[in-house]
């Protein structure tokens, strides 16, 4: 199956109604979408991605009001976060209604819900009478795609259509907030900074690192991984020839390393800009004839936390 790249929203709608997969641009990363209310369509996502069934999918809906169609109850903290950050890079994990099939949630009684902020997807969701289940449009475990070409490079042959919405503006997956013992907990770091969340609902716990954590099944230690070895936080190049080294840095240029092997994510020290570029930098370096990637530890504030989380997993 040859994948087409285009911007035909009506064609995408037809494919989705027919139970097919469509890759969609969002502000975070590109998603691989299917009708979230149809178990058979959703099953195709797991096949195309080679994704294990224990890893639940996020359901993308058109509006805050629409969330009520799919969840039993919206606690106060979630209502506040929805009012502030939706649409945007935030996913809320809430108790699901029966209309959401078990395959979407890996059998959990909760569902992750998000409202993407991208004009083309907004247009698509407005034309559909079902929400879209969509994980990142890449083979399971590899680097998330932030352009239509990234999706094509890896999923051509497995999906019919990719909507081209340009380069993702946030560039990193959504922040996920769920509930533990009736209190909000950040389950995955992402495109909404914890500090911004805390301003709205007060300080809450960040609990993201355990692969055996039953409430955060998808947070595997080894994820977002390039094929080249990636060393995180230690810029010690001894033992390697300069031609074998790729660099991901925040602001700094490394004098002895060839310039084309260095990705300086934000010379002006803007963590948003760095987050937007991190996955495509990893991907570009992974395509080069080098042996190893060295990535700096970014400042542990704002989106720097999510960048460090992804680099740590990529290095595991």
Residues that bind Mg ion (CB under 5 A): 136
Which of 87, 88, 101, 135 forms a contact with ligand AMP (CB under 6 A)? Answer: 135
Which of 218, 246, 302, 304 forms a contact with ligand AMP (CB under 6 A)? Answer: 218
The answer to whether residues 196 and 176 touch, using CB atoms and an 8 Å cutoff, is no
* CA–CA dist 80, 82 (Å, integer): 5
> Is residue 262 near ligand AMP by the rule CB under 6 A?
no
Identify the CA nearest to 262 among candidates 311, 295, 239.
295
> Is residue 168 near ligand AMP by the rule CB under 6 A?
no
> Is residue 298 near ligand AMP by the rule CB under 6 A?
no
Q: Is 182 left (phi over 0), alpha (psi -120 to 50) or beta?
A: left
Sheet containing strand 205-206, strands side by side: 4-6, 161-163, 22-24, 31-35, 132-133, 58-60, 110-114, 90-95, 175-180, 183-188, 205-206
β-partners of residue 183 are 180
Which range binds ligand AMP by CB under 6 A, 8-16, 40-48, 212-220, 290-298? 212-220
Which of 26, 41, 105, 138 forms a contact with ligand AMP (CB under 6 A)? Answer: 105
The answer to whether residues 99 and 151 touch, using CB atoms and an 8 Å cutoff, is no
Q: Which two tokens stand for residue 143?
A: 């680097």
Shortest distance, position 108 Cβ to ligand AMP, whole Å: 4
Which of 16, 33, 56, 89 forms a contact with ligand AMP (CB under 6 A)? Answer: 56
> Is residue 188 near ligand AMP by the rule CB under 6 A?
yes
> Is residue 110 near ligand AMP by the rule CB under 6 A?
yes
DSSP letters spanning 100-118:
S-HHHHTT-SEEEEE----
Residue 217's binding partner, choosing from ligand AMP, Mg ion, none, with beta-carbon cut-off 5 to 8 A by kind?
ligand AMP
DSSP letters spanning 193-212:
-HHHHHHHH---EE----TT
Residue number with CB closer to ligand AMP (94 or 257): 94
Which of 86, 92, 93, 206 forms a contact with ligand AMP (CB under 6 A)? Answer: 93
Shortest distance, position 275 Cβ to Mg ion, whole Å: 15
The answer to whether residues 138 and 124 touch, using CB atoms and an 8 Å cutoff, is no
Compute how many residues bind ligand AMP; rule: CB under 6 A: 22
| Sequence-ordered alpha helix ranges (H) in the chain | 9-17, 39-49, 64-67, 76-85, 102-105, 119-127, 148-155, 194-201, 271-286, 304-315
Residue whose beta carbon is closest to ligand AMP:
218
Residue 105's binding partner, choosing from ligand AMP, Mg ion, none, with beta-carbon cut-off 5 to 8 A by kind?
ligand AMP
Which range binds ligand AMP by CB under 6 A, 63-71, 110-118, 120-128, 271-279? 110-118
Which residues in this chain contact ligand AMP in the complex, by CB under 6 A?
A: 55-58, 93, 105, 108, 110-112, 135-136, 173, 176, 178, 187-188, 215-219
């Amino acid at each position: 199956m040859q994948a087409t790249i285009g911007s035909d929203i009506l064609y995408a709608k037809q494919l989705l109604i027919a139970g097919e997969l469509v890759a969609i641009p969002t502000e975070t990363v590109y998603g691989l979408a299917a009708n979230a209310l149809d178990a058979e369509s959703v099953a195709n996502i797991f096949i195309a991605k080679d994704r294990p069934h224990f890893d639940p999918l996020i359901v993308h809906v058109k509006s805050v009001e629409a969330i009520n169609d799919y969840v039993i109850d919206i606690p106060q903290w979630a209502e506040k976060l929805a009012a502030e950050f939706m649409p945007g890079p935030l996913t809320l994990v809430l108790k699901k209604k029966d209309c959401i099939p078990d395959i979407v949630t890996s059998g959990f009684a909760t569902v992750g819900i998000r409202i993407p902020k991208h004009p083309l997807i907004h247009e698509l969701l407005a034309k559909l009478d079902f929400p879209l289940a969509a994980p990142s449009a890449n083979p399971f475990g590899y680097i998330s795609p932030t352009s239509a070409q990234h999706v094509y490079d890896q999923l051509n042959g497995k999906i019919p259509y990719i909507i081209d919405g340009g380069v993702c503006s946030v560039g990193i997956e959504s922040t996920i907030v769920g509930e533990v013992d009736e209190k909000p907990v950040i389950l995955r770091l992402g495109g909404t900074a914890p500090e911004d969340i805390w301003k709205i609902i007060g300080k809450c716990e960040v609990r993201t690192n355990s692969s055996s954590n039953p409430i955060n099944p998808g947070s595997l230690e080894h994820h977002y991984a390039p094929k080249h070895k990636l060393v995180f936080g230690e810029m010690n190049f001894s033992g390697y020839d300069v031609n074998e080294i790729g660099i991901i840095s925040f602001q700094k240029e490394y004098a002895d390393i060839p310039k084309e092997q260095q990705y300086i994510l934000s010379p002006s020290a803007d963590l948003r800009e760095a987050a937007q570029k991190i996955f495509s930098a990893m991907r570009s370096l992974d395509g080069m004839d080098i042996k190893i990637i060295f990535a700096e530890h970014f400042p542990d504030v704002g989106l720097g936390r999510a960048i460090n989380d992804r680099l740590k997993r990529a290095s595991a």
